[in-house]
Each structure stands twice: as structure tokens, then as C-alpha cells.
Amino acid sequence: MSLLKALACQGIGLITAILLARNVPQLVFSFWLVVIFQGIIAAAISRLFHQAIWWMPIHLLFLPAALGLSALDLPSWLYLLTLLVLIVVFWGTAKGDVPLFLSSSAVAETMISLVKQENADSFVELGAGVGSVVVPLAKRLFLLNITAIERAPLPWLILRWRCRLLTNVTVQNKSLWDCDLANQKLVFAFLSPLFMDQLGEKIRREMHPGSLFVSSSFSVPDWHPESVIQLSDRRKTKLYCYRI
């Protein structure tokens, strides 16, 4: 849906800029001015369509970047290859899934301490990426039963490869919305503020009382964390710990 909206913004921007150029004779002589107008109009329309604010620079720069790249005369297979790589890494992002960002080693270390503190025997990571958390966890805590859920093809493949010798990790290639969280002592997620309401509902429905849900960086709206752990990594990550 957001991709369709983005295309519509670009299209409306382009048509409006062309019409403007045809009706304002001074503009016809300045190709780049028309290109800049197109970006400004597309960005403004994206706000009318209630697209997130970060779409604005994308709309502003899209046409200049496309024209600049086409001037470089790159082979066409390079565009196809780039598109394919982006698709397998950021699978589902256009549909609204969360893109890939990696947790720091400080997050992994803190999760190891939390698992020990909780005396947990099972751990699930929702959207495990390339294993920045589950791999160190599995290497240090042999007895912990770990499930890593990841849907995007390339991160999942890398995760599988990294976990190939780790017998205490099960890697599943499916949507986090399709996995059952009952019987899990500790669930960890690093997703997006957009999904925290929906995720909170799932956690409340499925996790057993007494178990722990830890969300990296994003809190669940209207929930009161039992504790918030502030890390001193580059992102100053906050871990919101919710006792069910």
C-alpha cells in the first residue's frame, strides 16, 4: 500500500511539474527546476496521503537520483541485481514489515544476563535478523532452548548458516504473527513502533503469567514495564522489560 502511495505521489508530482512547465514558459528552459518542482510536489502530496515523514527526502531525491544514475550509463543488469538484493534483504518492508537493523553486542550481553537472572529454559526472538542476539546467546548458554523467527530470505539464510552447528537453536522461516508464544519463558523483539500495539495484544493473549517480554528500543503503548535497561551502546538502546 505504501509503495502504491509513493508511486502515486511521484506520478502526480511528474504530471503537475510537466503541466506547470508547459504553462509557465520561463520554466521550459530550466530542466532541473522542473525536476526540483516534481520532487517538492511529490513530497507535499505524500504528506496529504499521510505517508511517514521519512518519505519526504525520498520523494525529493527520487527523480534527480534516477536521472543522475541514468547519465552514468550503467549496465541494466546492475539495476536488476540491486533490486533483487534489496528484495531478499528487506522482504516485506514495502508491505509494512520492519526493515533489518542489527542489535549491538551490548544487547546480546544483556539478554544473556537476563536469561540467567530469569533462569529461563526457553527463548524466542521475533524477527531474529542475522542472529546478532541468538548466536551469542546459543554459544554461551548451551542448555537454553532457542527459537529464532525470521521471514526475510537473505537474513534467514545467513542466520541458518550461522546457527548450523548450534544444536540448541531452531531457526524458522515464517512470520512472527504465525508463531505461538505459549510456553516461552522469555520473548525478545526489536521491531518498530508501528507494530507495538498489535504485538502487545499477541503477547497478552499467548504468553503465560510470570514470563518476560523484552522489547528493544520500542515500548508497548499503555503498558508499564517492570524495568527499563538503558545501555551505553552507540544507539543508547533501551530494553523495555514487561512481566506478563
Ligand X SMILES: C[S@@+](CC[C@H](N)C(=O)[O-])C[C@H]1O[C@@H](n2cnc3c(N)ncnc32)[C@H](O)[C@@H]1O
Residues contacting ligand X: total by CB under 6 A: 23
With CA atoms as reference, report the closest residue to 148 among 130, 165, 119, 126.
126
Q: Is 39 in the site for ligand X (CB under 6 A)?
A: no
Answer for which of 21, 127, 196, 214 binds ligand X (CB under 6 A) is 127
Please identify which residue in 151, 162, 185, 202 interacts with ligand X, judged by CB under 6 A: 151
Cβ-contact 121, 184 below 8 angstroms = no
| H helix or E strand, kind and range, residue 237 | none
**187 near ligand X (CB under 6 A):** no
Minimum distance from residue 124 beta carbon to ligand X (Å): 11
Sign for the pseudo-dihedral over CA of 234, 120, 211, 155: positive
Closest CA to 110 of 244, 243, 242, 237: 237
Q: Dihedrals φ, ψ of 102, to 5°?
A: -100, 140
Per CB under 6 A, 59 contacts ligand X:
no
Sole window of 9-17, 45-53, 92-100, 229-237 interacting with ligand X (rule: CB under 6 A): 92-100
CB of 118 to ligand X, least distance (A): 19
128 binds ligand X (CB under 6 A): yes
d(CA 69, CA 237): 36
Selected range binding ligand X among 28-36, 67-75, 150-158, 230-238, rule: CB under 6 A: 150-158
Positions in the binding site for ligand X (CB under 6 A): 92, 97-98, 100-103, 125, 127-129, 132-133, 149-152, 155, 175-177, 190-191
